[in-house]
Amino acid sequence: MIAQSTAFKRTALALLCGLVVIALAMLTLPGKSYSAQDRDQLLAGASSQHPAGTDALGRDRMIRVASAFLLSLAGAMLAAAATTLAAAAVGTLSAFSPATLGRFAMLICDVFLALPWLFLLMMVRSALPLTTSPAHSAAVTFLVLAALGWPACARAVYRGARQLRNAEWMLQARATGLRSTQMLRHILPNLMPLLLPQFLISIPAFIIAEANLGALGLGIGEPLPSWGGMLLELDNSALLMRTAWVYLPIGLLILILLLLEAVAAEV
């Protein structure tokens, strides 16, 4: 059973890496740009020039999907790393602090989870200078998502760290007078089995979050492609009737998310 699941994970990881390589290769093709508008071929079907057709502004769909994939994967990994680090710091510190401080930290996490984060996003969006390039605004979007995502992670880390704190070997170490800084050297490796899955699970979560934001219009600026921007095409039945290629982004998104979850899954 375990061997089977590891083989499954390996296949999923290999597929993902394959997709990344293909996407990178597509972007390096000469004469291809994600923003070039072929104004004579709007919502066209597959052709030799445009293998997956074009969107409503005549831009090549294949290149845009490849760019969106790489951008969101990179952004989501960045955000997942930031979130996991922040959650690890907060969770561990709270777990090893006096109980009241720990409970207070978790209270703040609960409050955070209940706030209408939409306004924070609007505020950040509005506070950005208007001339911020789409790439910078994309980075800011993912960082804000990371800033909003750590409470969920922190609770899980807190629980895990508390269990560690009450483990027998830890009690023995404390009894023999081990200082807190020395304890950290022992804690962190033991938390890795908890942190790594959190990191891996966060990646698809951030991809979906960015896609939802894009569908709300708070996502990444044009002409940079994003899943959210492309999913917006789906809410218009008029577009759906023109060409079946509009389903490519959502189909690919689901495939990528499935692969990511397979890599992150615990048996």
Partner 1 sequence: MKAAARLLRRLARAFVVVALVVIGTTFLVRSAPGYLSDAREMDARYGNAARAELSAEAAKSGSLKQLLQTEITGWTHGDLGISRQYEVPVAELIAPRLAVTGSLLLRSIVAAWLLALCAALVSSAGRRPSLLWQSPSTLLLAVPTAAMATLCMVSDHGGPVLVMTLLVAARDFKFLDRMLQKAWREPHLLQARAQGLSTPQLVLAHILPSIASQMLALATLSIVTALSALVPIEVIFSVPGLGQLAWSAAMNRDLPVLLAITMIMAVAVTLAGMPADRTGEWQGA
Partner 2 sequence: MHLSRRTRKFAAAALIAACAAVCATQNAPRLPGELAWNLGTDPKTFDPAKVDDQASELVRYLTAGVLLRFNRSTQKVEPQLAESWTPSPDGRTLTFRLRAGLQFSDGSSLTAKDAAWSIRRVLLKDTTAPVAEEFLSAEGVTVDTPDDRTVIVHLPQRVIGIGKVFDEIAIEPASRPSEGRVTSGPFVVADYRRSQYVRLRRNPHYAARDSNGAALPYASAIRLDILDNHEQEIRLFERGEYDLIDSLPPDYFGLLKQKAPNAVRDLGPSLNTEQMWFNQSPAAPLPAWEKSWFQNQAFRVAVSRAIHRADLARIAYDGHATPAYSFISPANTAWYNHALTVPHEDVAAAKSSLAGAGFRMNGSQLVDSTGRAVTFSILTNQGNAARFKMATLIQEDMKALGIQVTVVALDFPALIERLMHRQDYEACLLGLENVDPDPNAMLNVWLSSSENHQWHPSEKTPATPWEAEIDRCMNRQASALKDADRKQAVDRVQQIVADQQPFIYLVYPNALYAVSPRLQGVQPAVLSPGLAWNVEHLRLEGTR
235 touches partner 2 (CB under 8 A) = yes
**Nearest distance from residue 161's CB to partner 2, in Å?**
39
Residue 130 Cβ, how far from partner 1 at the closest point, in Å?
12
Q: Which of 66, 80, 148, 215 binds partner 1 (CB under 8 A)?
A: 215
CA distance 116 to 97: 29
Q: Which residue has the tokens 């990178």?
A: 24
36 touches partner 1 by CB under 8 A: no
Tell me how far apart the alpha carbons of residues 161 and 101 are, in angstroms, rounded to a whole number.
14
- Are 14 and 21 in contact by the 8 Å Cβ rule? The answer is no
Residues 6+ apart with CB under 8 A from 247: 234
Considering only 97, 133, 163, 182, the residue that binds partner 2 (CB under 8 A) is 133
Which CB, 66 or 106, lies closer to partner 1?
Answer: 106
Reading the block at residue 193, the tokens are 């089995």
Burial 224-250 (b: 16+ CB within 10 A, else e): bbbbbbbbbbeeeeeeeebbebbebbe
Please tell me whether residue 251 binds partner 2 under the rule CB under 8 A.
Answer: no
Residue 77: name the closest of 154, 156, 146, 157 by CA: 146
Total interface residues for partner 2 by CB under 8 A = 25
> From residue 113, how far is each of 50, 154, 229, 231 by CA, in Å?
44, 11, 26, 26
Euclidean distance between CA atoms 91 and 161, whole angstroms: 7
Residue with the two structure tokens 């569908």: 215
Which among partner 2, partner 1, none contacts residue 58 (Cβ within 5 to 8 A by kind)?
partner 2
| Interaction pattern, residues 211-230, with partner 2; x per rule: CB under 8 A | ------x---xxx-------
Residues with Cβ within 8 Å of residue 97, at least 6 apart in sequence: 105
Q: Does the protein bind partner 2 through residue 57 (CB under 8 A)?
A: yes
The yes or no reply on residue 45 touching partner 2 (CB under 8 A) is no
131 binds partner 2 (CB under 8 A): yes
Among 14, 29, 122, 171, binds partner 1 (CB under 8 A): 122
Residue ranges that bind partner 1, judged by CB under 8 A: 1, 4, 103, 107, 110-111, 113-116, 118-120, 122-123, 126, 159-160, 162-163, 166, 204, 208, 211-212, 215, 231, 234-235, 237, 240, 250, 253-254, 257-258, 261, 267
Residue ranges that bind partner 2, judged by CB under 8 A: 35, 37, 39, 42, 56-58, 122, 125-126, 130-134, 217, 221-223, 235-239, 241
